[in-house]
Structure 1
Amino acid sequence: MCSLLWSSIVMCVALQLLQLGIVHPSPSHIRITHLPGQPQVQFQQFSGYVNVDDRNHQALFFYFAEAEKDAASKPLVLWLNGGPGCSSLGVGAFSENGPFRPKGEGLVRNQFSWNREANMLYLETPIGVGFSYSSDTSAYEGVNDKITGKDNLVFLKNWFIKFPEYRNRSLFIVGESYAGHYVPQLAELMLQFNKKEKLFNLKGIALGNPVLEFATDFNSRAEFFWSHGLISDTTYKVFTSVCNYSRYVREYYNGAVSPVCSSVMSQVSTETSRFVDKYDVTLDVCLSSVFSQTKVLNPQQVTETIDVCVEDETVNYLNRKDVQSALHARLVGVQRWSACSNVLDYELRDLEIPTITVVGNLVLEGIPVLVYSGDQDSVIPLTGSRTLVHKLAKMLGLKTTVPYRVWFEKQQVGGWTQVYGDILSFATIRGASHEAPFSQPERSLVLFKSFLEGRPMPQEF
């Protein structure tokens, strides 16, 4: 019997129609037949819109890549990028852990794509990011964590109506950077919703280089700069005593940076250099991005196997009309798709909302949590994240079940890890940037697989 709640009635009817064979489990009007320049693959792809506010014509855009093999037996993973205001489609799917990377006029396969292990759902959130839109542009003003969390919950509820076969599938939420706010807040809303109506089969969350506690995360930047030789002893001293980074950020979003903080930040910027990417301090930058002064959150890096300018190529690719047509996407209120929104006015004071407490609540509810850090990121350094996880474990009374140790990817050290109470974990990814799957794709895939399987990181090679 269907419950009397409207959302339950809609879902129940959809499931009954599915069982009768009246509707196809994967809607054909959002199926991607072939992306321009795409190599041949065996898995299905979908993309399109899910309404989150019919009255104000607000819709969130998604891209969904089913698992390469045995999709019916694999879990569902929702991936969220941060910013706030950066695209999970362009950054997450096409630059990090999706099945393809733009190259020249076409796409190449990412051999370490996360859809090898899961059905991957990428969401452009909040409204105003990427192809997500509102017909009322005032909706882009004053967007905050509460609004974003509510919209993301509505998105998932309505997405399950389009894909009812995934309703009971094991669900994981993974994200990075400001998704340290998005992911725990959405998970908490899911648990609250489940107390009224069981819908979300949430099995765990993972947070990469996440903003969890404003002062700890931001002020750990100074020590990272200094310890990696990016700033002098003198600058380190003033950066930790005269004006620390959390104070500067607070003054900045309040619109009145003090002369003393302006002087300190100018000194820090001069020494660190604009030719060093703060999201990965050891690798080179894409010079075209540096010289063009394009506003991007995460300028990309290069190794022997990494395309240094993949973000530029992604922007070019997603602005092609044939690509937008294949994705069932459209531009509303903007002239071009951008990696990070030019129209969204997010309430930056929400940065100071501590979400480490929300993470603690999730652990108490029995939801496994992994916090991982690319160890070359100076924006949200590993030292702050490791400190916060350790303090949380102590506060919750969790004992160490896996002591701090190395983990392996093939025959090399992939990073370090520690586990508390078999439910709260911390791990680093050696040699990885803020966007760990971009710069260390193989090691990130090992971490992702262990997380989904609920296993500690590999101890031996």
Structure 2
Amino acid sequence: MASLLRASALGLTLAVPALAQFVKAPTDLTTTKGYLDLPVRWKEVPEGTCELTPDVKSYSGYVDIEDSQHIFFWFFEARDQKPEDAELTVWINGGPGSSSMIGLFEELGPCRVDIDGNVVNNPYAWNNVSNMLFIDHPAQVGFSYSTPIPSYISSQSSVVQLPNATCPEYAADLDCATRSQPVQTDTANSTSAAAPSMWKTLQGFMGAFPQYSRTEFNFATESYGGHYGPIFNAYIESQNKLIKNGSLPGAKNINLRTVLIGNGWYDPLIQYQAYYNFTVYPGNTYDYYPYNKSVEAQIYNALYGPGNCYDQTVACNTGGLDEICSAADSFCANEIETPLDNEGRDEYDIRELTPDPFPYSFYTTYLNSEKLQQAIGAYVNFTSSNQAVGSAFGSTGDDDREDGTIEATRSLVEQGIYVVQFAGDADYNCNWLGGEVIAHNVEAPGFGSAGYTNITTSDKVVHGQVKQSANFAFARIYESGHEVPFYQPLVALEMFNRSIHGLDIASGEQKISRGCEYKTVGTPKSEYREGNATVQFKVLPANAIYNTTLNGPNPTNGTNSTDVVGKKREATKRGMFAKQSLKSKRTFKPTFGRKMK
């Protein structure tokens, strides 16, 4: 079989590496045993690779959870407190198949990369207030790998294995590089199947770096994290019970405190309907209606017609057969979700046309540089989203399954875990209208009678509203696409800081615990409407700058990107956290893993 594979197309890749080259296996990794005797290979990352704050350490490496599953991590110490006393927060992106380097470099990590490839400071980094651990999960995602192979990308976008690390003349223009062998059996094919590997990765890291895991643990995610967050943490809690009764000797109890999920994909039956709600009726708060009456009618029929999306998704979630769920997801995605793409709108920010330069993606060039890969001990080139993983999940129809996400969330709340769901209200892909219904379906005590109130932040600007009862909250963030920490970095950081310290989201002044009497007071619905002032009706240039004061592109591009990124915002303004972009993010829809961020 191996010889056949070597001569054939092995799989597909979504994001082709920039500056691709064959990666030399690192020789400077230290091997340590984590909990459960899991091998952890790691190194201290040189200062300035991403973290620019003096004396704030960074580590990267791999947890070898199986012989063919090597999970990449990148850890950053807390900046503003003693790291040994700070809490540990893990961040994972969604997909399924998306790298957490998206979150690190586009959203909430300690650095960004400017148009010239320079590393610049992110003043709104979440490691200001917590130790941060970014994990590429499951195997084959991002820098994680199963088996590294020399390869090129065929004209059909397939990964083709080469006999050795030499790029032949016929492949000179076909992105020769080292990639993970895209074998679906060497990665997870569902959320529930991925949960044990995430738990093992945490066991490995915490055992190798016990000084950073002595206090509470927080889990933050987005997008397909609406599946990952509830299910992974329910698994962590179930493992904790086994540890406490002595059934898992050698494992560490993970003291889970907080779960944060941004623009999550939780329940397809609700959220496919929310596509119609967001674009047709009652519509979005930007007063933008993308379809004519004919397309609106087509979408309605594709949703509710006999045997169509709604019926197929019900059949998936009652019968559970992989082929039924996979077919349902393909139908719903093509007929309900995709029409917005046909209008040239960005699913992740309905205000923008495609190609959309925001958030910026040129950090991928940096991640595929030899200097960076040597600095972090990488074994493979970087791709932002892995098709083998997405296809594996697609084969089981995981995207179309609710899979117990709501019940798992309810259970976490009942156990006293602080759960915060938040959503940028310009995102169509995992939009806030569906997210709000999900939040109510959790049925957290007192949540149904709570009201929306403004979120106050240090800049004295209202960035959104929150509805909260005790240790469960749902926040709508204004003027934000799918990746809230990019579009609204200040409120994202302050929400995060409040939640991990057990404080209310609205003000950060009330202590929160399970069963406490805290409940927000206000209107039953969040009624603020932005209107279409920030909706773009022309395609933006690739070098556009996003201005977080204007909630849109700068009128001119005259500001130096490095100066803008590094500039602290004034206390009374939302300010500007922006860079220029060399190229836009993905502008096509894959047939898998649609919640890519």
- TM, length-normalised to structure 1: 0.80
CA distance in 1, matches of 2:419, 2:91: 15
| Structure 1 pair 383–322 and aligned structure 2 pair: CA distance change class (3 A) | same
Match of 2:393 in 1: 347
Residue 158 (structure 2) pairs with residue 98 (structure 1) = no
> CA, structure 1 residues 133+390, in 2 after alignment: closer, same or farther (shift >3 Å)?
same
* Aligned positions of 1:300-449 closer than 5 A: 301=358, 310-311=360-361, 313-331=362-380, 336-344=381-389, 345-348=391-394, 349-351=397-399, 352=401, 353-393=403-443, 396-399=444-447, 403-409=451-457, 410-420=459-469, 422-449=470-497
Q: Secondary structure at the match of 1:413?
A: coil
Report how far residue 253 of structure 1 moved: 4.1
Cα pair distance change 1:41/1:432, threshold 3 Å: farther
Q: Is the 8 A contact 2:108 2:126 kept in 1?
A: yes
Judge conservation of contact 2:406–2:441 (CA < 8 Å) in 1.
Answer: no
Q: CA deviation at 1:457?
A: 2.5
Alignment partner, residue 211 of structure 1: 265
Residues 222 and 323 of structure 1: is their aligned pair in 2 closer, same or farther, counting only changes over 3 Å? same
Secondary structure of the residue that 1:194 maps to in structure 2?
helix
What is the letter of the counterpart of residue 292 of structure 2? S
Equivalent of 2:85, from 51, 73, 83?
A: 73
Q: 1:356 to 1:12 in 2, by over 3 A?
A: closer
1:268 deviation in Å?
4.8
Classify the secondary structure of the residue corresponding to 2:378: coil
* Superimposed CA distance per residue, residues 101-123 of structure 1 (whole angstroms, 9 cap, x where no aligned partner): 01122211111111111111000
> 5+ unaligned residues in a row in structure 2: which ranges?
1-32, 148-180, 245-252, 317-323, 509-571, 573-597
The aligned counterpart of 1:46 is 59
2:301 aligned partner: 241
Matched-pair contact (CA < 8 Å) for 1:124–1:131: yes
Deviation at 1:380, TM superposition (A): 0.8
Instruction: State whether residues 259 and 419 of structure 2, in contact with CA within 8 Å, keep that contact through their aligned partners in structure 1.
Output: yes
Report matched runs for 1:116-127 at 5 Å: 116-127=128-139
Q: Does 1:158 align with 2:212?
A: no
Equivalent residue number for residue 526 of structure 2: none
User: CA, structure 1 residues 342+40, in 2 after alignment: closer, same or farther (shift >3 Å)?
Assistant: same
- Match in the other structure for 2:46: 33
Distance 1:112 1:363 in 2: 28
Q: Check conservation: 1:52, 1:58, Cα contact below 8 A.
A: yes
Determine the C-alpha separation between the residues in 2 that align with 1:73 and 1:196. 27
For 1:253 and 1:221, locate their aligned partners in 2 and report how far apart those are by CA, in whole Å.
19
- Equivalence for 1:453: 501
SS in 1 for 2:350: coil
Within the alignment, does 1:254 sit opposite 2:327 as a pair?
A: yes
Q: Distance in 2 between matches of 1:242 and 1:28?
A: 50
> Structure 1 stretch 212-221 or stretch 239-248: which is displaced more?
239-248
Tell me the distance in 2 between the aligned counterparts of 1:458 and 1:266: 35
Q: Note the C-alpha offset of 1:399.
A: 4.9
- Alignment of 1:170 with 2:216, yes or no, is yes
Larger helix share, 1 or 2: 1
With over 3 angstroms needed to count, the CA separation of the structure-2 counterparts of 1:130 and 1:386, relative to structure 1, is: same
Change (3 A) 1:36 1:157: closer
TM-superposed deviation, 1:388: 1.4
Which residue of structure 2 aligns with residue 144 of structure 1? 190
For residue 99 of structure 1, report the CA deviation from its aligned partner: 0.4
User: Is the 8 Å Cα contact of residues 45 and 66 (structure 1) preserved in structure 2?
Assistant: yes
**Distance in structure 2 (CA, Å) of the matches to 1:130 and 1:13:** 25
Aligned equivalents of 1:152, 1:262: Cα separation in 2: 31
1:337 corresponds to which letter in structure 2?
F
1:140 and 1:343 in contact (8 A); partners too:
no
Who is 2:72 aligned against? 61
2:279 alignment partner AA: F
Contact (CA 8 Å) 2:69, 2:186: kept in 1 or not? no
- 2:60 aligned counterpart, secondary structure: strand
2:351 is the alignment partner of 1:282: yes
- C-alpha displacement of 1:354: 4.0
| SS of residue matched to 1:148 | helix
CA distance in 2, matches of 1:241, 1:150: 40
- Look up the match of 1:5: none
Judge which range, 382-391 or 232-241, deviates more: 232-241
Cα distance change of structure 1 residues 138 and 216 upon mapping to structure 2, 3 Å threshold: closer
The 2-side partners of 1:340 and 1:195 are apart by 34
Task: Give the Å deviation of 1:200.
Answer: 0.6
Bigger CA radius of gyration: 2
RMSD: 3.1
Contact 1:78 1:123 in 2 (8 A): yes
Q: Shift of the alpha carbon at 1:433? A: 1.1
Q: 1:342 is aligned with what amino acid? A: Q
Distance of aligned partners of 1:326 and 1:35 in 2 relative to their CA distance in 1, 3 Å threshold: farther
- Structure 1 distance, partners of 2:78, 2:336, is 49
Shift of 1:402: 5.1
Maintained 8 Å contact 2:302/2:309:
no
What is the rounded CA distance, in whole Å, between the counterparts of 1:213 and 1:284 in structure 2? Answer: 27
- Contact in 2 for aligned 1:84/1:346 (Cα 8 Å): no
Output the CA distance in 2 between the equivalents of 1:439 and 1:431. 7
Distance apart, 1:442 and its partner CA:
1.4
- What is the aligned partner in structure 2 of residue 3 from structure 1? none
Deviations, residues 157-192 of structure 1 (Å, cap 9, x unaligned): 111111112333110101001011112112111111
SS in 1 for 2:229: helix
Distance (Å, rounded) in 2 between the aligned partners of 1:427 and 1:255: 30
Q: Which residue of 1 aligns with 2:291?
A: 231
Offset of residue 32 of structure 1: 0.6
* Cα separation, partners in 2 of 1:209 and 1:10, compared to 1, 3 Å: closer
Quick check: 2:42–2:60 contact (8 Å CA) kept in 1?
no
Shift, 1:390, TM fit: 1.3
The corresponding residue for 2:576 is none
Q: Report the Cα distance in structure 2 between the residues aligned to 1:378 and 1:13, rounded to whole angstroms.
A: 44
